[in-house]
Amino acid sequence: MTFNKKPLPGGVGVEVTGLEVSDAMSSTTVAALRELWLEAGIVLFRGLGTSPEVLLQLSRCFGELEPHPIEHFRLPGYPELILLSNEKGLTGPVYAFDGVPTYGRIPWHTDLAFATTPNAGALLRMVKKSAHGGQTGWLDTAMAWEALDEQTKARIEGLEAKYIFCADLSGMRFNRQAGELLQASSKNLPSFPPVAHPLVWVHPQTGQRILNVSTLNIQCILGMPERESDALIQQLIEHTLQPQFQYIHDWEENDIVLWDNRRTMHMAFGHPVDEVRVVQRSTIRGTVKMGRIIEEEQQQEETA
């Protein structure tokens, strides 16, 4: 193994040091990186994000990469990378939080929680950080599961929840952000049918149990009266969002953070709308189906 590791502050995730990324990385090093990713869930690499090529080389250590289905999100010349930037204008929604116009705020969520096959993970590279704000948080939902009391674990095992695609904060039912919408998204986004996911995921590679409460997307627990469902979801979210399960990253340019999407949630805190922030991202393709589309007949029963 040609790198070192140390715990991140707070005990959630690890930092890797001493790694050199190249086409000549040994199979032993690649295997050790993959093992660490599954073991830690969140991995920080400082100073490695010097080019899109390095990001791609590192990303391919962890699996097949998935290009974004909407072409204009892709980094020109690099179809497997996404460009997230406000340098040439604002395409996402703008909110005022405490009177400050803010861009890029996305509450705690699991990527593709609204789909039947969530991606396996992702890597984010900081190209240009904003002068203020712009932090990204990660939350270890396997750790949150382990900390649950046994009675609650038994109660939620086997339950399914409904998740929907939310293009902005208006579709959220829980953990709503107290922001005023100033400018709606200009993105032409596809629609997705609602899906059902277990409240408790079993990680397809490690067998860990994971508390699945993507706050951006979760709507209700299927087959449970609304008041009871809402109370249980609120209880689980309050438990999961405790600080001891979180790592909040203050970016430096050329940082890369890797995460396992199946055992974490993440949050973009946003930054002032008049400050430029540029990041690039790769996505590790998911290969295991973890949810199902909710049939129209079942949706009609829920609303009847």
Q: What is the pLDDT along the chain (304 residues), one digit of tens a residue?
A: 589 999 999 999 999 999 999 877 899 999 999 999 999 999 999 999 999 999 999 999 999 999 887 777 889 999 999 999 998 888 888 999 888 899 999 999 999 999 999 999 999 999 999 999 999 999 999 999 999 999 999 999 999 999 999 888 888 999 887 788 888 876 777 788 999 999 999 999 999 999 999 999 999 999 999 999 999 999 999 999 999 999 999 999 999 999 999 999 999 999 999 999 999 999 999 999 999 999 754 554 454 4
* CA–CA gap between residue 221 and residue 230 (Å, rounded): 8
Is 4:33 a contact under the CB 8 Å cutoff?
A: no
Is CATH 3.90.1150.10 the classification given to domain 7-303? no
Q: What is the pTM of this model?
A: 0.93
- Output Rg (C-alpha) for the chain, integer angstroms: 19
Contact partners, residue 168, CB within 8 Å, separation at least 6? 93, 181, 184, 185
